[in-house]
Amino acid sequence: MVTAASTPEESALPHTWSEARERAWDVAQPLPAHALPLSLAVGRMLADDVFSRHAMPHYASSAMDGWAIAGSAPWIFAEPGTKLSAGQAVPILTGGLIPQGAKAVLRSESGVLSTDDDGLPVLVLGGTARPGEPKNGQHIRPAGQEAATDDLLIKAGVVLNPAHIALAALGAMDELSVLGKPAVKIVLTGDEVVASGIPEPGFVRDAFSPQLGAVVAMLGGSVVGLQRAADTLASMLDALDDDEDDPADVIITTGATGRSSADFLREAITAMGGTFHVSHMAMRPGHPTLLAELPDGRFILGLPGNPLAAMVGLITLGAPLLARLGSLPCPVTTEVACGSPIKDYHGPTRLMPYRLVYGLASPCAHTDSAMMRGLAAADGIMVVPPHGAKMGESLTAIPLPWA
């Protein structure tokens, strides 16, 4: 949805890091809840309270293999399905329906088949039976022992685990209402990108397709498609077109966010009537990261082609956007104490991977926008203002999705 502060054209002034982050949260609205079969609901957030549709268990059942009995030993055998009278028994399996008149279940280990004076089969105590076994009600699971009809089983807002799913099934649920989870399509660009092996000079390895989907999942999204786009306007327009089979709420692109003759993302968004919520940011790395919205409501998160710049852009804009769409809390920031003096940059805010050394955040090495060694060794990302930072100065820090 386009707000008054949004513009179909690109803004001449970049958003600050904090402004862009807030904007990514504000322009989105939570996706509607929808029903899912139990088998697909693990890991999703429950939208509505779940109540038992019947008593659990819904009938009195046996907790043991053995015999349902009435009265004291010895017991003669009754016809299955009939009401038991004192001195009668009937075989029963674990989970079996307790017949009318039964007072307890005798475990199979505690009973012995014998004959009476007339040679008729009878059941007597024996084996491991203890004196007085079985007591009234022993080894019987009463109806409603776990829950009565309409008891609250699971509260809304929990992330469903396998135990929740089993509980819902026992409560006679076939599907559950879950909060929306943003579907994400990834579009990779760059004619110079190769997917495997050692690239020739002038080509680079694809650093995105092996890991970007995993990071999206950590941020609350679900990848529904991955497509490669050539460095042409027609190919970019085709990649951004809606996929009827796998509709996406968000399209995340890598590369083509610049303004060179090979970068067509911005032109494609404009041609499709899109609105730029964030056209660029006053930060390094990740300056050309953009967030736009198409007329059909799909968001486009354009990440730079350099790996570190892309990850910083994804954490800055993608994290709040996906959280908002998925009804999750806005990602938090923390504070760290700067571990070494950082000089005035005479430029925009810097987002610097750091390592904690004796409780202080020291900038990592190898943090050029095209490098990943620094981020791979980092404990987080600190936000360094343009004027730099003093030793021990408190700085805003962004937790890593995988930390």
Per-residue tokens: 70: 């009435």
Tell whether the model's pLDDT for residue 334 goes beyond 60: yes
CA max distance for the chain: 108
Question: Does 341 sit behind a cis peptide bond, omega within 30 degrees of 0 on the bond before it?
Answer: no
Q: Are 17-32+201-326 and 35-56+146-178 in the same CATH fold? A: no
Strands 349-357 and 334-337: unpaired
- pLDDT tens track for 249-277: 999 999 999 888 888 999 999 999 999 99
Confidence tier at 117 by pLDDT (50, 70, 90): confident
- pLDDT tens track for 81-106: 999 999 999 999 999 999 999 999 99
- pLDDT tens track for 160-219: 999 999 999 999 999 999 999 999 999 999 999 999 999 999 999 999 999 999 999 999
Confidence tier at 13 by pLDDT (50, 70, 90): confident
pLDDT of the residue at 132: 85
pLDDT of the residue at 178: 98
**AA identity, residue 40:** L
pLDDT of the residue at 175: 98
Q: How far apart are CA 232 and CA 336, in angstroms?
A: 44
- Within 13-161, residue ranges assigned H as helices are 17-26
Burial class (CB in 10 A: 0-12, 13-18, 19+), 8: middle
Percentage with pLDDT > 70 across the chain: 97
Write 146-152 long-range contacts (CB < 8 A, 24+): 146/56, 146/57, 146/170, 147/52, 147/55, 147/56, 147/171, 148/52, 148/55, 149/52, 149/53, 149/54, 149/55, 150/51, 150/52, 151/51, 151/52, 151/56, 152/49, 152/50, 152/51
Overall fold of domain 17-32+201-326: Molybdenum Cofactor Biosythetic Enzyme; Chain A (3.40.980)
Give the H/E segment covering residue 323: helix 319-325
Mean pLDDT of the 326-337 span: 96
Mean pLDDT of the 301-315 span: 97
Chain centre to alpha carbon of residue 125:
54
Give the H/E segment covering residue 90: strand 88-92
Q: How far apart are CA 402 and CA 212, in angstroms?
A: 12
Identify the bridge partners of residue 253 per DSSP, sorted by sequence position: 187, 302
pLDDT of the residue at 347: 85
Confidence tier at 8 by pLDDT (50, 70, 90): low
Identify the bridge partners of residue 62 per DSSP, sorted by sequence position: 140
Q: How far apart are CA 211 and CA 209, in angstroms?
A: 6
Length of the chain counted residue by residue? 403
Confidence tier at 129 by pLDDT (50, 70, 90): confident
Q: How far apart are CA 241 and CA 253, in angstroms?
A: 13
Tell whether the model's pLDDT for residue 6 goes beyond 80: no
Q: How far apart are CA 261 and CA 137, in angstroms?
A: 82
Chain centre to alpha carbon of residue 2:
28
Confidence tier at 5 by pLDDT (50, 70, 90): very low
Q: How far apart are CA 236 and CA 72, in angstroms?
A: 83
Mean pLDDT of the 227-250 span: 90
Q: How far apart are CA 254 and CA 275, in angstroms?
A: 19
Percentage with pLDDT > 90 across the chain: 89
pLDDT of the residue at 10: 62
Residue 96's CB is within 10 A of a number of other CB atoms, namely 19
Tell me: domain 61-141, CATH 2.170.190.11, correct?
yes
pLDDT of the residue at 243: 72
**CATH class of residue range 334-399:** mainly beta
Q: How far apart are CA 375 and CA 352, in angstroms?
A: 9
For the chain, the average pLDDT equals 94
> What is the phi/psi pair of residue 266, to 5°?
-65, -40
Residue 4 neighbours by CB under 8 Å, 6+ apart: none
Please state, in angstroms and as integers, the Cα–Cα distance from residue 226 to each residue in 194, 235, 265, 314, 395, following that order.
15, 14, 16, 16, 36
**AA identity, residue 229:** A
pLDDT of the residue at 2: 36
Please state, in angstroms and as integers, the Cα–Cα distance from residue 41 to each residue in 139, 164, 378, following that order.
34, 10, 34
**CATH class of residue range 35-56+146-178:** alpha beta
pLDDT of the residue at 84: 97
pLDDT of the residue at 59: 97
Domain ranges of the chain: 17-32+201-326, 35-56+146-178, 61-141, 334-399
Of residues 262 and 54, more confidently modeled: 54
Tell whether the model's pLDDT for residue 279 goes beyond 80: yes
Mean pLDDT of the 351-379 span: 96
pLDDT of the residue at 363: 96
